[in-house]
Amino acid sequence: MDESLSTPRHPAEIWAARQWQSAMEPSLARFVKDEALRGELLQRIYLEARLANLPPEMVLAVIQVESAFRADAVSSAGAVGLMQIMPFWIRELGLPADDLMDPWRNLRYGTTILAHYLAVERGDFTRALARYNGSLGQTWYPERVMRAWQRHWRPPTGGDRVTVQR
């Protein structure tokens, strides 16, 4: 397992992750039928999003729009996997042996790329999402992701949400 995902965490963070996973599981069930895979996918999405300092719900929305949670998806432009990563990113971020069809590697690339664009755009989600999609200057893609985020992946509401400082 990736060392960054296996490091001990604060109990409040573990509790928050479990609460989030329970809240997101019913929405993901329509895309991922296998319960064990669904649980592992949610855990990985949460951890990778937190590692990249992204809202995990936004990562879910991007995956929904990009691949409908199909790890084997390949676009007509050549984008691959859950988060539809273009192969040129291997030269930029990784190693020649990296397999973008591996859903966990794909998540790492996707969240890293999205976090990079969010930093470039100084926190502007619309512009960061447009860059991620290669459609900067247009809003159709960010609007699709934001719509998916609002409709399917809203975080639990109420005072029971825990924020852990790192």
pLDDT of residue 163: 40
pLDDT of residue 155: 65
pLDDT of residue 13: 84
pLDDT of residue 6: 52
pLDDT of residue 8: 53
Residues of the chain where predicted confidence (pLDDT) is lower than 50 = 1-3, 158-166
Reading the block at residue 46, the tokens are 């949460």
- CA separation for the pair 113, 128 (Å, rounded): 10
For 3-10, the CB contacts below 8 A with 24+ separation are 4/51, 5/44, 5/47, 5/51, 10/164
Q: Is 66 a catalytic residue?
A: yes
- DSSP 8-state symbol, 154: P
- CA separation for the pair 45, 108 (Å, rounded): 9
pLDDT of residue 11: 86
- CA separation for the pair 62, 87 (Å, rounded): 18
| Residue from 13, 25, 57, 66 carrying the catalytic annotation | 66
